[in-house]
Amino acid sequence: MQKTFRPVFSLFKKDVLLEFRQQYSFYGVLLYVASTIFVLYLAMGQPENMVWNGLFWMMQLFICVNAVAKTFLQEGRGRQLYFYSICSPVHFIIARMIFNAALMLLLNAISLGLFAVLLGYSISHPWTFFGISCFGSVSISLVFSFLAAIASRAQQNAALMAILGFPIIIPQLMLLMRLSTMAFSDVFQSGLTSIVLLLACFDLLVVMLSVILFPFLWKD
């Protein structure tokens, strides 16, 4: 366990350091978040709950595509070859997924804050919704991490990632939207646990598949 943990941790540290050193890309994503939410606010004003919910999850999807694409696509061929020679693909993809999940958690908090300020925040269970949104962002980021790995091997196209990813993410997105509508209603509904479990199973499936399949993408 220790032997797996240390390379993963150092790769994760490398990603975090890169973010600090090349801050322009992170600020780029932040600006994307702020501008898009502002445009949404200008277009929709303060929408009612269901519309708010839908808009929020759409925003999360697009933020995730952008943020995750950035981390994979900013590495050139030479750097990828260097990583190929020094670490195992399993460590690489796990570290990448952890980093993207952490990044999405941060962006989720920021975008939820902006949504609350601009588009209104009239939810019955605000902290439940916050928890659901964190869980959802992490789930989406796991799927898109692997898809970004695929797209980065295929001509580095961010649009390709969206094409590959949107059909696959639909079931999880629908589950998340169903889950978050429960946070809106006043009555506590019993289906919450089963949906959360189902989503957790999805995430586990995605992680397992990524760990199994990434070595095939690695040898290029």
Shortest distance in whole angstroms from residue 218 CB to another protein: 10
User: In this chain, which of 164, 176, 179, 182 binds another protein, going by CB under 8 A?
Assistant: 164
User: Which of 67, 68, 69 has its CA nearest to residue 31?
Assistant: 67
Please tell me the distance from the alpha carbon of residue 38 to that of residue 40, in angstroms, as a whole number. Answer: 5
For another protein, the closer of residues 24 and 216 by Cβ is 216
| Amino acid code (one letter) for 77 | R
Please report whether residue 167 would count as binding another protein according to CB under 8 A: yes
Task: For residue 2, give Cα distances in angstroms to 9, 152, 207.
Answer: 10, 30, 20
Q: Which C-beta is closer to another protein: that of 107 or that of 162? A: 162
Q: How far is the CB of 11 from another protein (least distance, A)?
A: 21
Check binding of 158 to another protein (CB under 8 A).
no
Tell me, by CB under 8 A, how many residues bind another protein. Answer: 27
How many CB atoms are closer than 10 A to CB 162?
18
Looking at 36-44, 55-63, 89-97, 159-167, which segment touches another protein (CB under 8 A)?
159-167
Q: Is-contact 183 159, C-beta < 8 A?
A: no
CB 194, min distance to another protein, A: 8
SS3 (DSSP) at 59 = helix
Q: Which two tokens stand for residue 173?
A: 């997105």
Task: For residue 155, give the amino acid letter.
Answer: Q
Residues that bind another protein (CB under 8 A): 143, 146, 150, 153-155, 157, 160, 163-164, 166-168, 170-171, 194, 198, 201-202, 205-206, 209-210, 213, 216-217, 220
